[in-house]
Chains A and B, each alone.
Chain A
Amino acid sequence: MVALFRSMLGSFRDLLPIILVITFFQLVVLQQPIPDFFGLLVGLLCVMLGLTFFIFGLEMGLFPIGETMAYAFARKGSLSWLLVFAFALGFGTTIAEPALIAVAAEAATVAAEGGMIVNDETARASYASGLRLTVAFAVGLAIVLGVLRILKGWSIQWMIIGGYLLVVIMTMLAPQEIIGIAYDSGGVTTSTITVPLVTALGVGLASAIEGRNPMIDGFGLIAFASLTPIIFVMAYGMVI
């Protein structure tokens, strides 16, 4: 009970900056009363409780399962299954991501107005679902690449810098309209549940394999997952 209360207090501290910013701008800059004060209070209470439960469950469920599976795969020594798992995790968590669905729908509108595709319902829907598949495939591939990197001990710098070079080259070739969306798609792919799982997987793998440093080799999976979609979405814009 004391532990719960203390973590609630921690969550309140995490939310305090948002409350202060909103109050300041509403009362001092915009000089307007706060609408529906009671609703706001209830909402904030929900956010606080939610954050507390989430962090509680994170250390009880998400971190342990990610690490247990990483250890099990490392002990089993089956590379192909590990890579299949990595791809499935990346692809499966991205295809259903609500933020991605929203961005894909907007991208289809942009493409239709830019004259890249026919401006009707079916063409837009197929463009949007194609884009979602592209991004999900890119994230799956990213996790596979990242896991391979951990196994082989490749240095992350050269891979990321190589990725940046690809992005720069693609930017020059891709149609102007797709660039903003492509850059954004890198950021929206990593959801609140994927991030802890993928991090635990990477750190678990790096600690289970001899000669790997969890700090140097364990992190970096998310970096790949936010870089490959940029490249693939621009490629998608060029092909379609």
Chain B
Amino acid sequence: MSDFFIELWDVFFSTIRDVLPIAAILFGFQFLVIRRRVPNLKKVIIGFVYVLVGLSLFLLGLEKALFPIGRLMAEQLTNPEFIREWSASAGAVLHWSDYYWVYIFAFAIGASTTIAEPSLIAVAIKANEVSGGAIGVWGLRLAVALGVAVGISLGSWRIVTGYPIHWFIIGGYIVVVIQTLFAPRLIIPLAYDSGGVTTSTVTVPLVAALGLGLAETVPGRSALIDGFGLIAFASLFPIISVMGYAQMIEWIEKRAKKASLPNK
């Protein structure tokens, strides 16, 4: 048990080290440039302490529990022996479709880690507050999770097949541009933002392990070149899914209006 507290202490210190520059900038500007007292300074500082303690516990728990088992799973699922065992059709050379468990795992782990991503929760709370409740916290989080899930499965498929990454990214950009022309104006900035918030503490380490595992075991791929790129997929596809979600809601509302008109 004492090991546990030593580890907690270490994580706590490294979190403080990461937060220190941010706190220095905030309070430096507050006291030197703005020179105005912060309302409820005590509450704000207590809030910061909560954030520090919370983030340390969160990271420690991930490091202790989730990352080891997640990495182990990524390794086992990409192992050619496991893939042969599950696919009856597998010949001497594995076909991309033999990796179906990898795609399912990529989808599931992408969606579930996004739901637990603290920065996405923060943005969803803010968006809900600013939009006066029009954008639901869960609606946004589920839409982003779906985008990440699709992005990561597509990204794993890319690693298996070896197609160049920029085709996918540029293709995704084209879809984003087209959607931007048609999506409701209010959602556009939030949708663009949701690309960046998805990939922080929880998702990146697990997804990186999956990418590296795949790139190492699929013949003809280099871990150094093909192992990268999954995060890019995970930050592009939520933009598409969030705009799609807003478009769908708008379309349903329009249909409901149209349907109710002749009756009146």
Contacts and interface: CB of A to CB of B under 8 A. Distances in A.
A160 B192 contact: yes
B228 A180 contact: yes
A214 B66 contact: no
Interface stretch (B90-98, B108-116, B254-262): B108-116
Contacts of A17: 111-112, 115-116
Nearest to A45: B61
Interface stretch (A32-40, A115-123, A126-134): A32-40
B34 A42 contact: no
Given A72-B34, A72-B36, A180-B229, A55 B121 contact: yes
A192 B18 CA distance: 11
B105 A25 contact: yes
B70 A22 contact: yes
Interface of B: 4, 14, 17-19, 21-22, 24-26, 29-30, 33-34, 36, 38-40, 43-66, 69-70, 72-73, 76-77, 82, 101, 105, 108-109, 111-113, 115-116, 118-119, 121-123, 125-127, 130-131, 165-166, 169-170, 173, 176-177, 180, 185-186, 188-190, 192-193, 195-202, 204, 224-232, 234-235
Contacts of A60: 43-44, 46-47, 50
A9 interface: no
A46 interface: yes
A196 B66 contact: no
B232 A183 contact: yes
Interface residues on A, range: 35 or more
Contact of A190 (B126, B186, B200): B200
B26 to A, nearest CB: 6
Contact of A167 (B39, B53, B173, B189): B173
A223 B118 contact: no
Contact of B57 (A18, A47, A61, A194): A47
Contacts of B51: 53-54, 57-58, 61-62, 193
A216 B44 contact: no
B119 A195 contact: yes
Contact of A215 (B57, B131, B200): B131
A181 B228 contact: yes
Given A26-B73, A196-B126, A223-B189, 16 more contacts: A18-B112, A42-B65, A59-B47, A60-B43, A60-B50, A85-B25, A93-B25, A110-B225, A171-B169, A190-B196, A192-B119, A195-B122, A195-B200, A215-B186, A220-B193, A226-B196
A76 interface: yes
Contacts of B33: 78, 81, 85
B21 A47 contact: no
Given A57-B51, A85-B29, A190-B119, A30 B76 contact: yes
Grouping DSSP codes into helix (H, G, I), strand (E, B) and loop, the B interface class, with mixed when no group exceeds half, is helix
B29 to A, nearest CB: 5
A217 B189 CA distance: 7
A200 interface: yes
A32 B113 CA distance: 22
B228 A53 contact: no
Contact of B22 (A161, A194, A219): A194
Contact of B19 (A51, A193, A216): A193
Interface in A175-210: 176-177, 179-181, 183-184, 186-197, 199-200, 203
B57 A58 contact: no
A7 to B, nearest CB: 11
Contact of A180 (B14, B196, B226): B226
A238 interface: no
A22 B73 CA distance: 8
Contact of B40 (A26, A64, A72, A223): A64
A183 B226 CA distance: 12
Contact of B231 (A187, A203, A219): A187
